[in-house]
Chains A and B, each alone.
Chain A
Amino acid sequence: MFDSLSDRLSQTFATLRGKGRLSDKDIEQTCTEIREALLEADVALSVVNGVVEKVRERSVGVQVTPGLNPSQQIITIIYEELVAVLGGAARRITLAKRPPTVIMLAGLQGAGKTTLAGKLAMWLKREGHTPLLVACDLQRPNAVEQLAQVAKQVGVPIFSPEPGNGVGDPVKVARDGVELARTKLHDVVIVDTAGRLGVDAELMNQASKIRDAISPDEILFVVDAMIGQDALTTAEAFRDGVGFTGVVLTKLDGDARGGAALSLSSVIGKPIMFASSGEKLSDFDLFYPERMAQRILGMGDVASLAEQAKRAIGGDEIEAMEAKFASGQDFTLTDFLKQMQGLKQMGSMSKILGMLPGAAAMKKQIADIDEGEIVRVEAIIQSMTPLERENPKILNGSRRARIAQGSGRKVSEVNSLMERFTGAQKMMRQMAKGGMPQLPPGMKMPMGMGGAMGPGGAMGQGMGALGGGFGAGKQTPQKKKSKSGNPAKRALEEGR
């Protein structure tokens, strides 16, 4: 479970009273917490110290106001610092003036280069390009075959004259591959190379020879998001040994915080261009600094989560829900059931919930959630008549007894579900009116978040399905009031 920095800082400042500036002691405490959080997120030690210094300077000006926890301001400061560093060098892929554009992939063993080659090819193809894949990993057993199968899946040609497994010269293959692209008029060439250690002088030398042979327009350093303190050492070795123009982070569908992203951006200063998050060739996207900053801070990747939820629950469902609430209709048991089923598809609930901001405050409710509960709740609701689901008020004793018997559960479980549902209903009504429990104010949300957060949105659905647990959270006062009837639009307009 994420014990996020925002939660920890909230606790640090929970007992703060009075007005004025933060004391030196408060600032020191803050810096200690930040340092710890960033190290746990695998940010390089040297980079952590730099960030903490910056935050210390800016923290001096933070005012303590009664009723407002300064942790929010501190978090915003850190968040802004991280986004600035992560997004600082951002740019798109540089296409060559005279085709083909040559893209070379380099990185440690197992980083995900070959899979990435396929993803890049697919992405470029969709953008209207004609990529050629070149198989220059002649070292790892059957790497050529792997790339060939990937090429087939994507539907792009591959140049693989050598079988690999120790046979063939990667430099020659690279050179010939680029030449072939030129003659066959492919406008992009993606050269996959063998994984190599930064400390392997011989193989780093080989990489530089490949580079010299093909003069790449882009050399992408492919790095696994779960890499620890070694990120910087390895990146420097690759920078010095072969050089790179951009970075791709892979396996972001894991739960590694990805502090390496910050280390690389901060020290090496090359842009992180893409984020790879899944084994499917379509699991590929541009890199979003805001999402990464939230992830490093332990706030989870809420936007990605919202997208994931959307995919599991279905865009149509969400629109229908939004329309429903916009028209003033109430949240019913049918909706509740739909949400539960959608959540089931998304996977482990406790993990998903752990990714929401403010998760620590809900720790107890989350820990109490039992995955099997979804199945039980489903059974109960399915034993109800459609009228009962739309109009839960009519559920008297005899109806409840019938439902209990029909679903093979106890009446007490039916009662308990109804209590939770009532709590969820209350919360959904509140969200429809524009209140959002436990989100730190002043937090800039990534695009599409407003929609995702509204009651019909994916996250709203997720939260609704939890039923009741959230009611206990503190409410953030809303100052701006939008006139829109659409709760999602209102959320956007009110800057949430």
Chain B
Amino acid sequence: MVLLKLFLNVCARLNRKVFNGSGRLFRRREKLEPSQKFGRRLRAIFTSGKLDQAEWDELEATLLGADVGTSATRLILADMRERMSRKDEPVEALRATLLAALACEQTRDIELRKSADGTPRVLLIVGVNGAGKTTSVGKLAHLAVEEGAQVVIAAADTFRAAATEQVETWAKRAGAQLISGEPGGDPAAIAFDAVKSAKESGADLVLVDTAGRLHTKVDLMNELGKVRRVVEKGAAVDEILLVLDATTGQNGLTQAKVFGEAVALTGVILTKLDGSARGGIIIAIQQELGIPVKFVGLGEGIDDLAPFDAELFVEGILS
């Protein structure tokens, strides 16, 4: 009886996902299949316990092709060799190496409900132009609302054409309140107002959508620091998440470094992982900067956000 209920439950949820947004679940699968070709090839070549030069080269090519980068690839192959010398099977050695490379001390979880004393959680969403910040804000808001949270979104991108209208659409879709200002207005002021409003209304979560900015623009990086400082006058900032496009190459590490210098990053949202890019640069970001990936974006729909799963990510690179 319980099993049947469970089964029906799952079907109902699947149905909801299938018909909610016209076949998004199936569309997502279609998208994921081709990009999983990568690792399948790899598994096929690891036939014996030892690897010949061609197989090592193939492995190196796979990692480089996933944007893991030359230094990180070197370290991974060396680590893998070491494990194999201790009698590990190649596939196991590789999986263990990659998981070790992604291991992080901090939690990947984020708090979506306000703290015991009623202070709202504040998340700052930052990143370069076009990474997927506003869409991610919408997804996070939706996730939080589904969990029963009351959400306030700060439309702090006052620069880009129609940015406020864009995040407004997401706020409506997610069921979150929007705090916005005039184009060209002060982003820090809007963020502060959102925190103030959240405290007054007893909201759980404040999501601050900021303007896309290249890390090479010093004044824009300084502005980000200012936004954080101003927000902190109202409430502590719980998370500063860097939104990173999975197609980004080695520049992703530079982005994380420089954004991290301007504001202390607590995590990464890796977006557009439903494409053919593997996002391997996050390995270097974890290793060199200790910044963990907390979420992955898997499409343009409001549901297309998943918590980062290291095992699945490694599978994506390999299988």
Interface residues contributed by chain A, number (CB under 8 Å): 50
Q: How far is the CB of B101 from chain A (nearest CB, A)?
A: 18
A230 touches B159 (CB 8 A): no
B247 touches A228 (CB 8 A): yes
Q: Which of B35, B163, B247 has the most CB of A within 10 A?
A: B247
Scan A145-170; emit 1 where CB is below 8 A from any B CB, else 0. 11011100100000000000100000
Given A251-B129, A254-B251, A146 and B166 touching (CB < 8 A)?
yes
Which A residues between 104 and 161 are near B, CB-CB below 8 angstroms? 108-112, 139-142, 145-146, 148-150, 153
Pick from B64, B165, B214: contact of A229, CB under 8 Å = B64
**A146: nearest chain-B partner, CB-CB:** B162
Which B residues between 172 and 218 are near A, CB-CB below 8 angstroms? 214-218
Pick from A201, A228, A234, A279: contact of B248, CB under 8 Å = A228
* Distance between Cα atoms of A260 and B251 in the complex (Å): 12
Taking the complex as formed, is A57 at the interface, i.e. its CB lies under 8 A from any CB of chain B? Answer: no
**A152: nearest chain-B partner, CB-CB:** B161
Pick from A149, A199, A228: contact of B67, CB under 8 Å = A228
Which B residues between 28 and 71 are near A, CB-CB below 8 angstroms? 30-31, 34-35, 61, 64-67, 69-70
Scan A182-205; emit 1 where CB is below 8 A from any B CB, else 0. 000000000000000111111000
B251 touches A112 (CB 8 A): no
Number of A-B contacts (CB under 8 A): 154
Q: How far is the CB of B287 from chain A (nearest CB, A)?
A: 16
Q: Which of A36-44, A63-71, A451-459 binds B?
A: A36-44
* Distance between Cα atoms of A36 and B70 in the complex (Å): 7
Taking the complex as formed, is B250 at the interface, i.e. its CB lies under 8 A from any CB of chain A? Answer: yes
B-side interface size class: 35 or more
Taking the complex as formed, is B239 at the interface, i.e. its CB lies under 8 A from any CB of chain A? Answer: no
Q: How far is the CB of B301 from chain A (nearest CB, A)?
A: 11
A42 touches B250 (CB 8 A): yes
Q: How far is the CB of A43 from chain B (nearest CB, A)?
A: 9
B166 touches A142 (CB 8 A): yes
A251 touches B128 (CB 8 A): yes
* Distance between Cα atoms of A198 and B277 in the complex (Å): 10
A110 touches B131 (CB 8 A): yes
Taking the complex as formed, is B290 at the interface, i.e. its CB lies under 8 A from any CB of chain A? Answer: no
Taking the complex as formed, is A275 at the interface, i.e. its CB lies under 8 A from any CB of chain B? Answer: no
* Distance between Cα atoms of A110 and B130 in the complex (Å): 4
A230 touches B129 (CB 8 A): no
B169 touches A142 (CB 8 A): yes
List B contacts of A22 (CB < 8 A). Answer: none
* Distance between Cα atoms of A39 and B169 in the complex (Å): 40
Given A110-B245, A229-B67, A234-B276, A255 and B61 touching (CB < 8 A)?
no
* Distance between Cα atoms of A139 and B21 in the complex (Å): 12
B275 touches A230 (CB 8 A): yes
Scan B238-261; emit 1 where CB is below 8 A from any A CB, else 0. 000000011111111010000000
Taking the complex as formed, is A54 at the interface, i.e. its CB lies under 8 A from any CB of chain B? Answer: no
Which B residues between 116 and 149 are near A, CB-CB below 8 angstroms? 128-132, 134, 138
* Distance between Cα atoms of A10 and B27 in the complex (Å): 52
Pick from B31, B165, B168: contact of A199, CB under 8 Å = B31
- B contacts, CB < 8 Å to A: 27, 30-31, 34-35, 61, 64-67, 69-70, 128-132, 134, 138, 159-163, 165-166, 168-170, 214-219, 245-252, 254, 272, 274-278, 281, 300
- A contacts, CB < 8 Å to B: 36, 39-42, 45, 108-112, 139-142, 145-146, 148-150, 153, 165, 197-202, 224, 226-231, 233-234, 237, 251, 253-257, 259-260, 279, 347-348, 351
Q: Which 5 A-B pairs have the closest CB atoms?
A: A228-B249, A110-B130, A42-B249, A230-B277, A149-B161
